[in-house]
Structure formats: C-alpha cells, structure tokens
Structure 1
C-alpha cells in the first residue's frame, strides 16, 4: 500500500507542478489584467492543492498533515480575496476594457 501511495503522490506532485507552471506562463502571456488575474488564481490554486495532496501522501505524519491542511486553508481563503482586490484596483485605475465585460456592476459608481 505504501508503494501505491508513493506513486500516486508523485503523480499528484507532477500534476500540481505542471498546473503551477501553466499559471506562470499565463501570467506572462495573457494580454490584459483580467485574463492575468484568472491565470494567477484558478490553475495556481489547483496546482498548489495538488502539490499539498501529493505531499500528504508522501509524508504521512500527523504534524506534517496538520501543516499541509493549514496551508491549504490559507491558500483557499486568500486567493479569491486577492483576485477580487486586483480586479477592483484594475477597474478603478482604468486598466480594464469595459467593452469586454458582460456585466459591469460598478458602472454607476
């Protein structure tokens, strides 16, 4: 059973690293702020969570698992807030092309 968990953990580590790499490439390649914000949050968070699950399968000790759970909770709670703040700052500074927005909830403010 230990060998199977090690292999699955290794595959999850590889998948998480690839998703984090894709997020980094998206930050460099995407043209505007909202696209970059999407690349910085969605694949990056999933990549970090896959890395954490892979580490949990490889380490398997109570203190390490507790720390990994805390990192996952912190990542899941801060990434959406950071994306919201980045999007709002970009909108207020005029760096968002408003014609690309389907719904502009801040237009009247």
Structure 2
C-alpha cells in the first residue's frame, strides 16, 4: 500500500516549501524526511493560491500541488500553479494564475481554470 505524505515546512508567517513524497511502505519511527530549507521565490504565491483555492472549493481537499512557472513582465508578473483536488464524488485539477504588479507585488487578479485531467 502506497502512502502519500504531504509535508509542509512552515515558519510562523511564510510558507517555505511544499514537498510531496510517495512511499511504498509506512515510515518507521527512526526515519526522518528533510524538506529543502531554501525558500523558493514562489512560496508566498503558493500559500495564497492554496488559501484562495480552499475558499473557492471548501468541500475539496488539496491532494497535489505544482508550481508551473512564472511569466515576468516589466509591469505585470504571473505565477502559475496547478493543484489537484479531491471532492466527495470526484477528483479534478485546477490551474491558478496569480497576476500581480511586478514592482509592488500588489495582486491584480487570481484566475481559476478547472480541468478533468
């Protein structure tokens, strides 16, 4: 039986990294998993995306998280994510784009697009 473990390495204020590990057997008490301690540049946006996704889909669990990439412009930057959600009767993906002002990081728009696979 495979066990999907999702580890969040958080500080009091910022989401620092997200690691998803698939293990073929349960962890023993002596095994330790270390998350990468370096804070990725998209961590702030990933935390916001997960919060907004839970608000939009309150009855679904986030089961997977992927930072797709970044489109950086002179005035606007877009961070792109894909989350996989599991609801009561279905599973589906959601692409989330966070568009913000490059210089001030003020959010301009957060858009959601559902996909079945």
Q: TM-score, normalization: structure 1?
A: 0.27
Q: Is the radius of gyration larger for structure 1 or structure 2?
A: 1
Q: TM-score, normalization: structure 2?
A: 0.25
> Would you tell me which structure has more helix in proportion to its own residues?
1
